[in-house]
A = this chain, B = another copy of it.
Amino acid sequence: MLTLKSVLTFRSAAKEGLRGPEKLLERYKSVRRQTELLTAHLSPEDQMVQSCPEASPTKWHLAHTSWFFETFLLSQNLKSYRPFHPQFRSLFNSYYNGVGPQPDKTLRSTFSRPSLEEVQKYRRHTDEHMHKLLDSGGLSEAALTLIELGLNHEQQHQELLVTDIKHAFWINPLRPVYQSGAVQRTGKGSAPSQRPHAYEEGVFEMGADDAGFHFDNEAPRHKAYLQAFRFAARPVTCGEYLAFMEDSGYSRPELWLSDGWNAVKARGWSAPLYWEKVGSEWQQFTCAGMRKLEEDEPVCHVSYYEADAFARWAGARLPSEFEWELVASRTKVQGNLLESGSFHPAIAASTDDDQPAQIFGDVWEWTTSGYLPYPGFKPASGALGEYNGKFMVNQMVLRGGSCVTPATHIRASYRNFFTPETRWQFSGIRLADDNL
């Protein structure tokens, strides 16, 4: 079983600030260990499940993150290296056409072999050689960057694997529990007011600077003009969302984008994902199982369409990704993230601060911005250019991370992206409006 204590271990480690390239080996070990802590209590069978098209089996996440180091680091930088298994290069390729062919994503749940035990060997094999590589010294700047990328890649899959197993357990009528100690540790009390913070118009620098790691899609840093706007002090709560539902929110086409309305009808949506009415009580499936809906917690697992319809109903709108980034760039990176071990959004603390609350963690915040290249965007050369660039169409940007995002993985310039009907993510709603 994953104990709360073991989760907290990594949080402490993170606090010590292992950032420099000289401490890369230590960080490598931390990140890899975090992955194993998150999955150690899942059975070989649990790790086979793929319960929706967006998800992958846990075991696949374990293997694919090793594949990343093997394919992009070890095979190219460690002379003596021989791949763990000749077919894994293809078997655990997610979508890199530059690396070669890959199995259809829907087949991942059929790969009983390699067994979980074999995949764990694959991880140890990878670790052993990565340790050797990191110990060897004299790594090029490019190689160091690739290792940094591999660690961030693995952190993305940490978030995904928790997100995926939550869905897998929800699909099962037995409703297994991922982490029995989780969730309860979220805050208590009433959600504070949503009163907006105002921001002046002007030209602002947006995107990642070169101070730390960032993905290619966060660059280049560039100027953007923002109109004056207001930004809500905290995300929308379940209680506020209930008011929308009770005001016939899911039955009024005038509140919805056309594609959103079609989605409501085709998919029969009448509440966020994981909400279920049991008798007269609304309940919610969490990583700790079913429990009573907490009205003061941020609403979660809503699509862009629902976020947009709620905002219209509320007489507001969603923020753009640049509005969001301007606010976040003035906010400290802290919050209810993966290391809190809660795996669930928490009630906001007081919002009397001079900054909006819950910018980082709790729920990803849908923005009105399409996921498109920044001016001057250049994807990496080779197969890694496929990491982000080829998805720059048909998706919306989300910002800020969620309660299952690792703390060292999120930052003000971080761009997440999903298609607008996506609900299996820990995605919520931040309101904004024009400051007229």
Contacts and interface: CB of A to CB of B under 8 A. Distances in A.
Interface of A: 43-51, 59, 87, 90-91, 95, 97-98, 103, 107, 109-116, 168, 171-174, 176, 201, 203, 222-227, 229, 253-254, 256-261, 304-305, 308, 317, 320, 368-370, 372-373, 375-376, 385-386, 390-394, 396, 420, 434, 436
Given A49-B110, A97-B253, A369-B372, 19 more contacts: A43-B112, A44-B45, A45-B45, A45-B59, A45-B112, A48-B48, A48-B49, A48-B112, A50-B110, A87-B174, A98-B254, A103-B173, A223-B227, A229-B375, A257-B391, A257-B392, A305-B393, A317-B373, A375-B434
Contact of A90 (B103, B173, B317, B394): B173
A177 B375 CA distance: 44
Contact of A203 (B176, B203, B393): B203
B376 A394 contact: no
19 contacts: A43-B44, A43-B112, A45-B115, A45-B116, A49-B110, A50-B109, A87-B174, A95-B258, A110-B168, A111-B174, A223-B227, A227-B376, A257-B391, A258-B386, A259-B391, A368-B373, A369-B370, A370-B370, A394-B420
A115 to B, nearest CB: 6
Given A115-B43, A372-B369, A393 B257 contact: yes
A259 B386 CA distance: 12
A258 B392 CA distance: 8
Contact of A372 (B176, B226, B368): B368
Report which residue of A369, A372, A420 has the largest number of chain B beta carbons within 10 angstroms of its beta carbon.
A372
A95 B253 CA distance: 11
A301 to B, nearest CB: 18
Contact of A227 (B51, B201, B375, B420): B375
Nearest to A252: B97
A172 B112 contact: yes
A51 B115 contact: no
Contacts of A368: 372-373
A51 B50 CA distance: 12
A173 B225 contact: no
Number of copies of this protein chain within its complex:
4
A390 B254 CA distance: 9
A114 B44 CA distance: 12
A300 to B, nearest CB: 21
A46 B112 contact: yes
A110 B49 CA distance: 5
A145 B371 CA distance: 35
A165 to B, nearest CB: 9
A222 B173 CA distance: 46
Contact of A225 (B87, B225, B304): B225
A370 to B, nearest CB: 3
A112 B173 CA distance: 11
B225 A203 contact: yes
A383 B368 CA distance: 23
A44 B117 CA distance: 12
A201 B225 CA distance: 12
Contacts of A111: 172, 174
Contacts of A171: 107, 110
A333 to B, nearest CB: 26
A392 B256 CA distance: 11
A418 to B, nearest CB: 13
A1 to B, nearest CB: 15
Contact of A391 (B103, B172, B258, B305): B258
Contacts of A317: 373
Nearest to A98: B254
A174 B434 contact: no
A176 B308 CA distance: 42
A50 B110 CA distance: 7
